[in-house]
Structure 1
Amino acid sequence: MALNLGKAEDVVDEVLRKGKRILPHITRVCLISTFLEDGIRMWVQWSEQREYMDISWGCGWFLATMFVLINFVGQLGGCTMVLLRKHVPIACGILFFIVCLQTVAYSILWDLQFLFRNLALVGALLLVLAESREDEGRGLFAGLPSVGENKPKNYLQLAGRILVVFMFATLLRLEISFMQILQNIVGSVLMVLVTIGYKTKLSASILVVWLLVLNFWMNAWWTIPAYKPMRDFLKYDFFQTLSVIGGLLMVVTQGPGGVSMDEHKKKW
């Protein structure tokens, strides 16, 4: 068993080595995909979104328009900064504000499934923020030896790992079937491993593959006719899940950070 795990970890390391140039870009595109899609949707469905907010909250034309405008500009602007790696902490702050704003505006706070998914999005943003701290450190102290652990970065990675796995809590079902029970057990084990940072790259890689397959299977929005409302729901779920996949890919490429069992094992 240990030998098989070792071989699997070697495969992950080989994939990371060969994809070291392209994987960071794929990771970032996945991470911002839900914000990018939602920002574009705000523009394409400008009138519908404004009308929905006005009817839901009775806030009037002006405030409803401001809500749509903030979501449109904030999400596309934040995505651009993340992709260009410019002012990433500010970009993460903007996107975090958008997540909080939508959580309240769409009453997600009272829907556990959507709330857990939004928490997973926050976790992905924290991982982007952690990576930006590493980039800043390299820029400021390039060529100098490390003078100690980057504790803020380590804690950001820990919080990001914990929140990202909330996505998988939405996949657990209380159904009496072999496949569902197996999915619950395997998913729960992998969630715990990623959370505590043990065999992290391997566990996160398995979750990436698993979530990717489920996403294309369960959220195939392109198979639904454009006039059906279900298309928008599936499309939203698809890109939100893709962002969490990006967060997990960042765990794979960046590692679990200092606050993890993998890191402590190196000191034993």
Structure 2
Amino acid sequence: VLHNGLIMQFLRVTKQYLPHLARLCLISTFLEDGIRMWFQWYEQRDYIEATWNCGYFLATCFVLLNLLGQLGGCVLILSRNFVQYACFGLFGIIALQVICSSEIYVLNLALGGGLLLLLAESRSEGKSMFAGVPSMGESSPKQYMQLGGRVLLVLMFMTLLHFDTSFFSILQNMVGTALIILVAVGFKTKLAALTLVVWLFAINVYFNAFWTVPAYKPMHDFLKYDFFQTMSVIGGLLLVVALGPGGVSMDEKKKEW
């Protein structure tokens, strides 16, 4: 009862800006990637041309599509304009990157989970994206999107696990995995998600402090990638805190019992 009261108090205080913060964190991976493409235009184009041997024109088109798609989608989501179209555009960017870089397939699939949560948040109950689909009572498409988003958040979280034998890494993995499973099944969802947000943010700032490493060192880019990847997970979890678990969850089923 005490922790439920604390969560409700937290939500009352933060309800004005929590969804905005969640969206910013969630799309930070796309934002960082788009900005990096802007500043490393020639390097990105030459890399694509050399890797795929596709010629100057196609390489330029690929980088331009990625840059405009990611930055444009981020601007629309943050300004709350055409959010559903922006999400579908970013889904397209994810698909494009999966085709071109299969080694980051799991991360891209997990980022799709965050976009699903964004779609669920933006979707008005009165204006269904699924016009013509028969009503399923309480189990609306929005609730299934929330379930899918939560499950894919687990995939996103798995990309953050550190597989080494140090005590802190083992502890970090065990605590984080237990909390993310609670989020996935929708049990004590808001408390588990908020605890995980605080836990991940502290670890992220401490271990992925890319700003302390000179930009010319490879470790700078590696830490920056990890930092924004973790921020996207945090954004997804903050959306879960703001939205709740949805109808397809243990928290909701308990109310029926």
Q: TM-score, normalised by structure 2?
A: 0.90
Pairing 1:192–2:187 present: no
* Aligned residue type for 2:240: V
- Measured in 1, the distance between the counterparts of 2:218 and 2:122 equals 38
Deviations 1:73-131 (A, max 9, x none): 101111111112221111011111112222232x2x23xxx433322211110000011
- Measured in 2, the distance between the counterparts of 1:172 and 1:75 equals 26
Q: Is the 8 A contact 1:119 1:164 kept in 2?
A: no
Pairing 1:169–2:158 present: yes
- Measured in 1, the distance between the counterparts of 2:197 and 2:242 equals 12
Question: Counterpart of 2:72?
Answer: 77
- Measured in 2, the distance between the counterparts of 1:229 and 1:67 equals 24
- Measured in 2, the distance between the counterparts of 1:171 and 1:237 equals 8
RMSD of aligned Cα (Å): 1.9
Equivalences for residues 206-245 of structure 1 within 5 A:
206-245=195-234
Aligned residues: 250
Structure 1 range deviating more: 116-125 or 15-24: 116-125
Pairing 1:31–2:26 present: yes
Question: Counterpart of 1:261?
Answer: 250
Question: Counterpart of 1:143?
Answer: none
Identity level (%): 59
- Measured in 2, the distance between the counterparts of 1:22 and 1:30 equals 12
Q: Structure 2 regions of 5+ residues with no counterpart?
A: 129-135
- Measured in 1, the distance between the counterparts of 2:81 and 2:126 equals 11
Q: Is the 8 A contact 2:160 2:230 kept in 1?
A: no
2:107 to 117, 124, 133: 117
- Measured in 1, the distance between the counterparts of 2:119 and 2:54 equals 34
2:3 to 5, 8, 13: 8
Q: TM-score, normalised by structure 1?
A: 0.87
Deviations 1:168-190 (A, max 9, x none): 22343454443333223222221
Superposed structure 1 runs of 4+ greater than 3 Å apart: 135-138, 171-178
- Measured in 2, the distance between the counterparts of 1:173 and 1:247 equals 20
Q: Is the 8 A contact 2:157 2:233 kept in 1?
A: no
